[in-house]
Amino acid sequence: MKELKDTLWKAADKLRGSLSASQYKDVILGLVFLKYVSDAFDERRETLRGELLADGLDEADVEDLIKDPDEYQGYGVFLVPPVAHWTYLAQHAKGMPAIGDQPPRSIGALIDAAMDALMRANPSLSGTLPRLYNRDNIDQRRLGELVDLFNSARFSRQGEHRARDLMGEVYEYFLGAFARAEGKRGGEFFTPPSVVKVIVEVLQPSGGRVYDPCCGSGGMFVQTDKFIRAHDGDPTNVHIYGQEANEETWRLAKMNLAIHGIDNNGLGARWGDTFARDIHPGVLMDYVMANPPFNIKDWARNVEDVRWRYGVPPATNANYAWIQHILSKLKPQGQAGVVMANGSMSSNSNGEGTIRAQIVEADLVSCMVALPTQLFRSTGIPVCLWFFAKNKGDRAGEVLFIDARELGHMVDRAERALSDEDIKRIGGTYHAWLGTSPVEPVETETYADVPGFCKSATLAEIKEADYALTPGRYVGAAEVEDDGEAIGDKIERLTKELLAAFDESARLEKVVREQLGRLS
């Protein structure tokens, strides 16, 4: 797998000099998608051929039956017309010469035509695939070399969901790599996987409607699908609803879901601003998972919007607009998990404190999680997770606070990630507190406050703190292990050790000065 990823990243390097990061992202991911659909189509065709021959059909009947579209689309495989098949493109990687009255065609023109043919054959892809390969700023020679390089990689393997699993992993790898390359812009379409996994681990979506009002490249939906498959659930029990304001990112999400075999019709026929026009009006959700853009200062604000049940959000910050939009979407038993900037937990400016107080008093907040720094390479803003539940059962009137700032490990100098153990600890703590069963066993199924890590606070306690929801205010400091030494004795011992260290430092300084004096 690493070899395949390295091969593909080298492919991206071929165009990096002549295109911006966002442009070569579209070029590479589009080619990856073309290669994937061709391999998956071939894989399904050969499987079908083998099944039909095993049933005793002759070659003529087999050739007719393997052309049946239902035998592909019914298995989540896209139909691939001959002009869109990878072998056809690979044969003409250097372009096509003039034939009769037809002028010569570049490889870029052939790829654009392939994208058109794919979208015509598969309505669910309509308006989704990139058509930019025949533009003047695309080096056709390099593009042909890129096709040759991709031709050596096969995106399929043996086993269930083989091509889909492998390609999905490759696609996610590239989304992450391009997000890092694009810096802050990359954060608009990519949420770190470990952060998404925490939300999914806490909510445990197993069926019903799952919604993301600012879905980026669709990571919340993909992780939901993975969670369900990993726990032997039925992914068809989940119905995806999403919205994305950026056209380019909306296309990324549509392709991402398609590669993972997830119905992408719930993302709408086109992109659009959730605040200006909600494309799912009146549809209530079982689960909402979101990573809204932080602290938006210019957004489509309507003071009379019915979504502002707990107060009109300020014109200069959309954080509480996102929160109230999400709350407006929840069913009576609905739950939500939202990534927010830390300032949202305690801000009192422009009426935000009043809105937060109203939401707390409505008993909608179930859990607050403070996350470690550097999880987002694209921003240095500290972040937290808000969890909401319309029905907290026996925990009504309480909020769980988790301080996870000390968890995680550095992936490199700039980026931190939460381990699977960290994620299970957060999720297990939440489910122990709520009295629900996590899908995987945890160390303890009985909740207890842990100083420095978690605390269950009442609404009265939160009111006393002026409705600030910062976990550090509630969990306190971690208990210091008792080593059996009296505090007075320890201070005396440490003082002697420190003075002895000072004396030794002074002695060494004197020796060094004497040696330097001899040199001069």
Say whether both 392 and 272 belong to one domain: yes
Predicted confidence at residue 479, as pLDDT, reads: 64
What pLDDT does 158 receive?
46
pLDDT tens by residue, the chain, 520 residues: 666 677 667 666 766 666 766 677 788 888 888 988 898 898 889 989 999 988 888 888 888 889 889 888 888 889 999 999 999 999 999 999 888 888 899 999 999 999 999 999 998 888 889 998 999 888 898 889 888 887 876 655 444 445 556 667 777 777 777 766 665 554 556 788 899 999 999 999 999 999 999 999 899 999 999 999 899 899 889 999 999 999 988 988 998 888 888 888 899 989 999 999 999 999 999 999 999 998 999 999 999 999 999 999 999 999 999 999 999 999 999 999 999 999 999 999 999 999 999 999 999 999 999 999 988 876 677 899 999 999 999 999 999 999 999 999 988 887 889 999 999 999 999 999 999 877 665 555 789 999 999 999 999 999 999 999 999 999 988 765 556 677 777 788 888 888 888 888 888 888 888 888 777 6
Q: What is the DSSP letter of 235?
A: G
- DSSP secondary structure code for residue 480 in this structure: P
| Final residue of a structural domain among 177, 205, 232 | 177
Structure tokens at 182: 């694009």
Q: Which of 117, 148, 177 is the last residue of a domain?
A: 177
pLDDT of res. 451: 96
Specify if 357 maps to a domain: yes
pLDDT for 439 equals 63
User: If you search the block for the tokens 């968890």, which residue do you land on?
Assistant: 407
Q: What is the DSSP string of 5-49?
A: HHHHHHHHHHHHTTS-HHHHHHHHHHHHHHHHHHHHHHHHHHHHH
Distance CA 370, CA 400 (A): 11
- Structure confidence at residue 127 (pLDDT): 86
Q: Would you say residue 480 lies in a domain?
A: no
Same structural domain, 122 and 257: no
pLDDT of residue 160: 43
**Statement to judge: residues 172 and 206 lie in one domain:** no
Query: Do 167 and 316 belong to one domain?
Result: no
Do residues 313 and 460 share a domain? yes
| The pLDDT value given to residue 154 | 61
Both 195 and 88 in a single domain?
Answer: no
Q: What is the CATH number of the domain that holds 148?
A: 1.20.1260.30
Q: What is the DSSP letter of 268?
A: -
Residue 40 falls inside a structural domain:
yes
**Could you tell me the CATH number of the domain that includes residue 251?**
3.40.50.150
Range of the domain at 315: 189-475
468/491 same-domain check: no
If asked whether residues 144 and 227 sit together in one domain, one would say no
Element of type H or E holding 389:
strand 383-389
DSSP string for residues in 119-158? HHH-GGGTTTS---TTSTTS-HHHHHHHHHHHHT-----S
Determine the pLDDT at residue 102.
83
Q: Does some domain include residue 182?
A: no
Task: Looking at the structure, tell me whether residues 370 and 297 fall in a common domain.
Answer: yes
- Which residue's structure tokens are 């991402």? 256
Output the pLDDT for position 79: 94
Q: How many domains does the chain have?
A: 3
